[in-house]
Structure 1
Amino acid sequence: MRISGQFRAVFIALIAVVAASITSAAYAESGTIRISVVKAGWFIGGSGGSGTLTFRGRVYPLSIGGLSAGLVFGASQTDFVGRVSQIRRPSDVAGVYGAAGAGAALGAGARAIVLTNEKGAVLQMSGREVGLMANADLSGLVISLR
């Protein structure tokens, strides 16, 4: 009988953990995001821009900033449009996003990216890049609500 009581307690605890994770994932929502980022550099690069998050019918202004290190030459502007998922409130979008990437733009080109921050927000964006840029770098992007 003692083993079945311990088994029952472990089983109930396991069910509680699974139920909590299912309900928290079920309440996560998504929104749309539009950002415009200007990137420039010579070995070390910087980026900055602005954008908007549309979430639950409201529009929230965003500020974007970041650094890149590696092979970074030139300057470009990229206008991204996409979806942000796994958020519960607008402030979940704010945070630090890291990426490793490589690419080149001469004139106009396309770009797609998927990023995740420390709060679990997932950005899936694509857009048009204009400029003269060659990069193979590690970069960090900081998004904040204005």
Structure 2
Amino acid sequence: MRRLFGIAFALILAATAGAGAARAAEGRIALTIFKGGWIIGGSGGSGTLSFNGRRYPLSIGGLSYGLVFGGSKAELVGRVSNIRSASDVAGIYGAAGAGAAIGVGARAIVLRNEKGAVLELSGRQVGLIANLDLSGLAIGLR
């Protein structure tokens, strides 16, 4: 009897864990980010999240520190995964990276916030910028 109870408990636990993972969904995101600076840089912009048949406006801001020189505009689109509601996209996304763009350049990046939301973005960057920095990007729902 005890063994049967243990097996039933394990099955219920497995079903509950699977249901939580099944509830996580994904959406589409489009961002326009302006970045500029000299040693200390800043970024700002806007975007749109498409999730469960609705569109949510986004605001973007951030700071970077390190070797930052110039200015650029990036237009990025991609997928947002591991979210249960639109508010899961809001948060701080961190990245350490290096890059350069003169004129038009391609960008691709994967970011994760503290809630577990994952952004897989690609697009193009226009401007004159060189960077080797630590960056933080904050995305909020408007």
Q: Could you state the TM-score of these two structures normalised by the residue count of structure 1?
A: 0.90
TM-fit CA distance, 1:27: 1.1
The residue aligned with 1:37 is: 33
- The equivalences for 1:47-126 within 5 A come to 47-126=43-122
Q: 2:97 is aligned with what amino acid?
A: G
Task: Give the counterpart of 1:20 among 16, 20, 29.
Answer: 16
- SS of 2:22's equivalent in the other structure is helix
The separation in 1 between residues aligned to 2:78 and 2:43, in whole angstroms, is 19
Report the TM-score, using the length of structure 2 for normalisation.
0.92
In the comparison of the two structures, how many residue pairs are matched? 142
Aligned-residue RMSD, C-alpha: 1.6
Measured in 2, the distance between the counterparts of 1:11 and 1:140 equals 46
Max radius of gyration: which structure? 1
Unaligned runs of 5+ in 2: none
Equivalent in the alignment of 1:141: 137
| Aligned residue type for 1:143 | I
Q: CA deviation at 1:23?
A: 1.1
- Return 17-26 or 43-52, whichever deviates more: 17-26
Identity %: 63
In 2, the alpha carbon distance for the partners of 1:47 and 1:129 equals 13
For 2:114, the aligned partner's letter is: E
Q: Note closer, same or farther for the CA distance 1:9–1:71 as it changes in structure 2 (3 Å cut).
A: farther
